[in-house]
Amino acid sequence: FSAIGEEREIDRDEFTPGIEPQATWCPGCGDFGVLKALKQAMPEVGRTPDETLLVTGIGCSGKLSSYFESYGFHSIHGRSLPVARAAKLANPGLEVIAAGGDGDGYGIGGNHFMHTARENHDITYIVFNNEIFGLTKGQTSPTSPKGHKSKTQPHGSAKDPVRPMSLSLASGSSYIARTAAVNPNQAKEILIEAIEHDGFAHVDFLTQCPTWNKDAKQYVPYTDVQDSDEFDFDVTDRREAADAMYDAESRLYEGEVLTGRFYVDEERPSYTEEKQATDEMPEAPLAERYLDEDSEWE
Ligand code: SF4
């Protein structure tokens, strides 16, 4: 283990534990892409495994914390964000990442998603969006398209899907992006930005589920809105961002995959910064406080 804050070269292999996901994730699953992108991003962020906490919910995506070497907390369904928030409040020096599926985050944990965004907690939230419940064998999820047939909606879903980025913006997230497991270079860059962002960073990560969502697209081809002449909007302008993400969310269900950064607010202070400004929360990480014999925070 290294001391918190110590600068040294970090290798992505440090984030690889002794177990591999091949035994539980199906061949071709998009979850592999998230794991790979996260392992590639962390060394560039400059955080070591012992400076990082990964909190997961329930689902195939929830196993991410088993295959990523860091502090980990495999929580219960939809509850990764309250656990992540508590950890960040207790130890502001820790890099806290939460992850879960679209059912976990936009359905069961939807209330936590909304309020963690509203309060702008300094957490990165990765949502594996495969438009289905994978682990429990293919039920309709909050992002399943209208008309999608499953065991729980055998005649086709009558429900309009959640618009994750629009919901995120309306709730108060200060960084919102969409990427795809089939686009590892962009995914890595977006994760770096999200983790380095001070505030609640939400990444809607499109992850194909070839086992239970066979009819769904593989999210190819995809377009990066920052690289396309068709799209010209200011990611720091809330109204322009709202239009762009609404458009992207609509087009996803028409078979067009638009990815990239959709909203970035670097001005708004995070919850941690707001609390530290009132002296309600100490700036020193928990470990340093315990080492300081005179600390009033022991
Ligand atoms: Fe991935 Fe779907 Fe298999 Fe789960 S069921 S591991 S989401 S392919």
Residues for the chain: how many in total? 298
For 286, counting Cβ atoms within 10 Å of its Cβ (0-12 exposed, 13-18 middle, 19+ buried), the class is middle
Most ligand 1 atoms within 8 A of CB, residue of 211, 214, 215, 219 to mutate: 211
Mean pLDDT of the chain: 92
pLDDT of residue 176: 98
pLDDT (mean) for 178-200: 97
pLDDT (mean) for 278-291: 64
Report the distance separating Cα 245 and Cα 240, nearest Å.
9
Residue with tokens 């283990």: 1
Q: What one-letter code names the amino acid at 37?
A: A
pLDDT of residue 139: 95
Measured from the Cα of 138, ligand 1's closest atom is: 5
Which residue owns the Cα nearest ligand 1 atom 1? 29
Let me know: does 50 contact 92? Beta carbons within 8 Å. Answer: no
Measure 221 CA to ligand 1 centroid, in angstroms. 21
**For residue 234, pLDDT beyond 60:** yes
pLDDT of residue 4: 52
Least confident of 119-123, 250-254, 281-285: 281-285
- CA 263-100-129 angle, to 5 degrees, is 60
Which residue owns the Cα nearest ligand 1 atom 5? 134
Measure 134 CA to ligand 1 centroid, in angstroms. 5
pLDDT of residue 1: 44
Residue with tokens 């194909």: 208
Let me know: does 148 contact 157? Beta carbons within 8 Å. Answer: yes
Report the distance separating Cα 96 and Cα 174, nearest Å.
16
Three-state SS for 176? strand
Residues above pLDDT 70, as percent of the chain:
92
pLDDT band with cut points at 50, 70 and 90 for residue 298: very low
pLDDT of residue 276: 85
**For residue 286, pLDDT beyond 60:** no
pLDDT (mean) for 237-244: 98
pLDDT band with cut points at 50, 70 and 90 for residue 282: low
What would the two tokens of residue 228 be?
Answer: 């396309």
| Pocket around ligand 1 at a 6 A CB cut-off | 25-26, 29, 31, 60, 130, 134-135, 209-212
Let me know: does 38 contact 181? Beta carbons within 8 Å. Answer: no
**For residue 293, pLDDT beyond 90:** no
* pTM of the complete model: 0.93
Q: What one-letter code names the amino acid at 134?
A: G
Q: Which of 95, 97, 103 is nearest to 78 (CA)?
A: 103
Least confident of 17-21, 28-32, 99-103, 241-245: 17-21
Sheet holding 52-56, edge to edge: 71-74, 52-56, 95-101, 124-129, 201-206, 175-180, 257-264, 222-224
pLDDT band with cut points at 50, 70 and 90 for residue 5: low
Q: Quote the longest CA-to-CA distance of the chain.
A: 66
Is the domain covering 19-291 a CATH 3.40.50.970 domain? yes
pLDDT of residue 20: 86
Express each pLDDT in 23-70 by its tens digit: 899 999 999 999 999 999 999 999 999 999 999 999 999 999 999 999
pLDDT (mean) for 262-273: 96
What would the two tokens of residue 38 be?
Answer: 């996260």
Domain ranges of the chain: 19-291
Let me know: does 122 contact 131? Beta carbons within 8 Å. Answer: no
What would the two tokens of residue 237 be?
Answer: 């302008």
* Distant-in-sequence, close-in-space partners of 9: CB < 8 Å, separation ≥ 6: 43
Residue with tokens 């589920």: 209
Report the distance separating Cα 257 and Cα 30, nearest Å.
15
Most ligand 1 atoms within 8 A of CB, residue of 22, 128, 130 to mutate: 130
**For residue 9, pLDDT beyond 50:** yes
- DSSP H helices, 91-158, are 102, 110-118
Residue with tokens 């769904």: 216
- ipTM for the assembly: 0.99
pLDDT band with cut points at 50, 70 and 90 for residue 109: very high
Tell how far CA 177 is from the center of its chain: 9
